[in-house]
Amino acid sequence: MGLVRGLLIQGNSKVGEAINLWGLPAVTTCPGMTSVCQGACYALRSRFRFQTVKDRLAWNLEQTERDDFCGRMAKEIRHKGCLVLRVHSSGDFFNPEYAEKWLWIMKKVPKPRYYWYSRSWRIAEIAEVLEKMAALKQVRGWHGIDSETGTPQNVPKGIRTAYLQVDEDTPPEQADLVFRVRRLRKLPRPRIGLTVLPICPNESDK
């Protein structure tokens, strides 16, 4: 009998053991990436350099191309009783068809809270699907923005924006959250009430 390998991995004690993670290879699955996010991307560093991790993410990508991907993912989410699922601890929604698969899964198994940070809003065909996802009450979607992306013209209902700050610039007014590279973490908060997080491997890649 062949080894049945799960699709999801469990978060660690830092990111939260109640969180289940799904990841893909960074860069090659990131049609909306910028030089800014690539330069700060934790999914290109530390443990992500290990061959075992690279192999795992490549295997995940292969699974997305299989006809049984959606069914297997839905079954695993149910079986594990997932409460929170982060879609893409690395990588992104790489085309509309793949994003549609996740939309199907989120509708089919609405129990967990799903969340994602994505720069694929920059691709119009994918942005349409992200908007549909974010309209679901079980989904929390974040558009990743930075000085290169600019700010989206229209941010759909249910989606928030997370600004990646790599210079001492002023985050746009529209940003709901700021991720700062470590060397900037001592800068004062840009405005009252705005959440500012230092980037670390357990926080975000977007």
Does residue 206 bind ligand SF4 (CB under 6 A)?
A: yes
Q: Which of 19, 33, 106, 196 binds ligand SF4 (CB under 6 A)?
A: 33
Does residue 37 bind ligand SF4 (CB under 6 A)?
A: yes
Each as own residue / partner, the long-range contacts of residues 62-71 (CB below 8 Å, 24 or more positions apart, any chain) are 63/7, 64/24, 64/98, 64/101, 69/101, 70/101, 70/104, 70/105, 70/108
**Which positions from 97 through 136 interact with ligand SF4, judged by CB under 6 A?**
119
Stretch that binds ligand SF4, among 33-41, 51-59, 107-115, 180-188 (CB under 6 A): 33-41
Does residue 64 bind ligand SF4 (CB under 6 A)?
A: no
Q: How far apart are CA 143 and CA 62, in angstroms?
A: 25
Does residue 38 bind ligand SF4 (CB under 6 A)?
A: yes
Q: How far apart are CA 153 and CA 151, in angstroms?
A: 6
Q: How far apart are CA 199 and CA 206, in angstroms?
A: 9
- CB–CB of 190/196 below 8 Å? yes
Closest approach, Cβ 163 to ligand SF4, in A, equals 13
Does residue 205 bind ligand SF4 (CB under 6 A)?
A: yes
Contacts with ligand SF4, residue ranges (CB under 6 A) = 26-27, 30, 33, 37-38, 41, 43, 90-92, 119, 205-206
